[in-house]
Structure 1
């Protein structure tokens, strides 16, 4: 986006992945090919924020987030703290367990091709989701899905795919109650007992669940998916069928494309922000249009403009 003088790229690497020999080999190979690549490793949450600032001070024009969805969110948040004219390009080296955003972008998953694209690929402007004043690049997902991904390692997709009977059994065992709340968007509003809510800038969350199949990163719109509470095994099976048929609306599932949405909950509502757990009583989700430049494959389907 901006000219910082000396062209260099910083890789901000999640500390959990720092010792992987394939990553060291990929870095060495790209340096030998003539690329200036500085590597810094995070130790604890929040390190990514100040490392972005440090990278820009040292003249970095591109910053690579090496890690999972949480690392991407943190590096993205660090870039968003800077004035627009000082923001470096952002790229991704996928190293998480789910890699929802990277998979949605169709990034290579092997370290060398992923890092090569991150260093040499073209960056394009993307929108950044804002949940109140917190940025997210991929998906904010809430309700039962957020409870699952924060309290157990079982991804939402595998749970739904594992059969409605097991899910009903878990709901009964947990004394599950729906989340009562009021949703508003430009063209309407609804008061609903919610089972699940997803607000997408990207297209998938929960370990591969495509919750926002029409999502584009540069269209100025969020994908809003909400799933109404159900009372029987038959209704749950219908929900699973309706989720398979997105983006069509169903009796329990609604799919909308909106510039903003507000939600007011009767209680503390669990929400995952790019994989990071939060709780809210009220929030407004909107978009900061063309706020960030992101490196992605040339044929990436998450862009309107190729």
Structure 2
């Protein structure tokens, strides 16, 4: 290839998780490399060697014009974290190759690698909000309580064999052994409530935990707010069953067991002890007090085609009968404590 022709090509870095989704991404890598090479990119492949390697690679990819993440939601978290910590808004494309691919489903990204690759080149870029949990980032959900351990404790070998069903089986086990958590919730308007919950989520997605759904009409990926869901202990097995059915189908959440609102910052306190969280399906150590918030559109995503949004969820201010113009403009510290 002539030197001047090579210089005209944009540089594309492909970061692959070789263990995700029965090695689906690793098998697709040669075709993906060839596809982007044929479409005017100078392609560099990087196969992640261990947990956290995707973040390190993306953080050092300062000379690239685009980064493609090939793996599950956890791999995408690593890549986006690396991009944010690099200080460069390098566009990110997502080729889903995990067991559940919650965020890909929400963003309208095809599960077939080559279809996702073609959509990366055909769809316009999309600005995406990113959440923070203390000094760590999450791309689509931070959660505690039931279904939380499911996302990070289901064995990789089991996920590779039976895929999404592994999350369902572990989720059922958690429901049977559910234990409420005492928590204090402080919203951005200063309102504080103290209750017991069996589940809490702070999300920017229509699907999370491998088992739960939100109505697409209630989710905007770029509005500077996330959807907050807090579930109280049901008083009977019938109430629990009704609650779980609603969550599985993304039906309205107006009930005695569920609080649902939209906000940009929440402080959680756990007086009786730390509650472990899941960040995009990965374990995060619990803290007695933690700030959870949203960074407004710090990331550029490629290949997204989400369903049209028609928002109906109340904000924390509307829930309290008040109004506020506060938004999150906080950036987590450079180093993670966990």
Smaller-chain TM-score bracket: 0.7 to 0.9
Give 3-state SS (helix, strand or coil) of 2:152's partner. helix
1:118-152 CA deviation, whole Å, 9 max, x = no partner?
A: 35543221111111121111111211111233334
Match status 1:195 vs 2:198: yes
Q: What are the ranges of 5 or more consecutive residues in structure 1 without an aligned counterpart? A: none
Question: 1:37-186 to 2 correspondence within 5 Å?
Answer: 37-56=43-62, 59-83=63-87, 86-119=88-121, 121-152=123-154, 170-171=176-177, 176-186=178-188
For the aligned residue pairs, the C-alpha RMSD in angstroms reads 2.7
8 A contact 1:127–1:292 mirrored in 2: yes
Q: Assess, with a 3 A threshold, how the Cα gap between structure 1 residues 290 and 143 changes in structure 2: closer, same or farther.
A: same
Match status 1:10 vs 2:16: no
Worse-matched range after superposition: 21-30 or 198-207: 21-30
Give 3-state SS (helix, strand or coil) of 1:269's partner. coil
Deviation, 1:289, is 0.8
Q: TM-score, normalised by structure 1?
A: 0.84
Deviation, 1:91, is 1.0
Deviation, 1:208, is 4.7
Q: Assess, with a 3 A threshold, how the Cα gap between structure 1 residues 183 and 155 changes in structure 2: closer, same or farther.
A: farther
Find the aligned partners of 1:124 and 1:19 in 2 and give their Cα distance. Answer: 23
Deviation, 1:245, is 5.9
Worse-matched range after superposition: 232-241 or 7-16: 232-241
Find the aligned partners of 1:19 and 1:291 in 2 and give their Cα distance. Answer: 26
Q: TM-score, normalised by structure 2?
A: 0.76
Alignment match, 2:281:
275
Worse-matched range after superposition: 125-134 or 201-210: 201-210
8 A contact 2:24–2:97 mirrored in 1: no
Q: What are the ranges of 5 or more consecutive residues in structure 2 without an aligned counterpart? A: 1-7, 156-164, 312-338
8 A contact 1:67–1:96 mirrored in 2: yes
1:151-201 CA deviation, whole Å, 9 max, x = no partner?
A: 3466666677x7xxx876x32xxxx42111111113433212111111012
Q: 1:288 aligns with which of 283, 295, 318?
A: 295
Find the aligned partners of 2:71 and 2:233 in 1 and give their Cα distance. Answer: 34
8 A contact 1:125–1:294 mirrored in 2: yes
Q: Assess, with a 3 A threshold, how the Cα gap between structure 1 residues 114 and 200 changes in structure 2: closer, same or farther.
A: same
Q: Assess, with a 3 A threshold, how the Cα gap between structure 1 residues 92 and 178 changes in structure 2: closer, same or farther.
A: same
Greater share of strand = 1
